[in-house]
Amino acid sequence: MEHLLAPSILAADFANLQRDIEMINSSNADWFHLDVMDGVFVPNISFGMPVIEAIGRHAKKPLDVHLMIVDPDRYIGTFHQLGASVLTVHFEACTHLHRTLQAIRDLGMKAGVALNPHTPVTVLEDIMPSMDLVCLMSVNPGFGGQKFIERTYEKVRQLRSMANQSNPGLHIEIDGGVGTGNWKALVESGADVLVAGSSTFNASNPLEAIDRMKGY
């Protein structure tokens, strides 16, 4: 299965952000992954609209925006204006998830749903056709560089089986602890979008690390 790689900008060097963005532009990576944290839904604050606007001015690949925030509906239009191609909200943060996904799609973005590690994939059964992407958190959200949760492989297999029945084109994205040692097993389990932050930007040769995780 052809898979996409989405380096997480949260792990980039913010003092040299344009340099790191241009490195991703010139690499074999596919998307920019942007984690937006509000300090309420998750115990950390990342970056907001001005930084995303600046990234968008230089990025030559799609922006994959992951909202780890409460009340994401308030900002759907804003992130569309900022150039998001994919907008992912958390199942745990949405009261009316079907309506939220429809609002994202109505603006022409791909609609994604993220699940925290403790949330079973079965909660998505009724809205499977309404999603373009599911992001499985393979660490507890909020901080980069955490250890990968092994249970994720089984969740990927279960979700891919569900998707094959009602949404065979669904992207399954893995976010957290993805690196050169486990990317292949994740793809073999059924994932097709891999978020790689620390394993990209902390590598001695980021371009080489990207190529390894792309299978080149």
The catalytic residues are 35, 175
Task: Tell me if 201 sits within 8 A of 209, measured CB to CB.
Answer: no
Q: Tally the C-alpha atoms within 13 A of residue 139's C-alpha that lie toward its C-beta.
A: 16
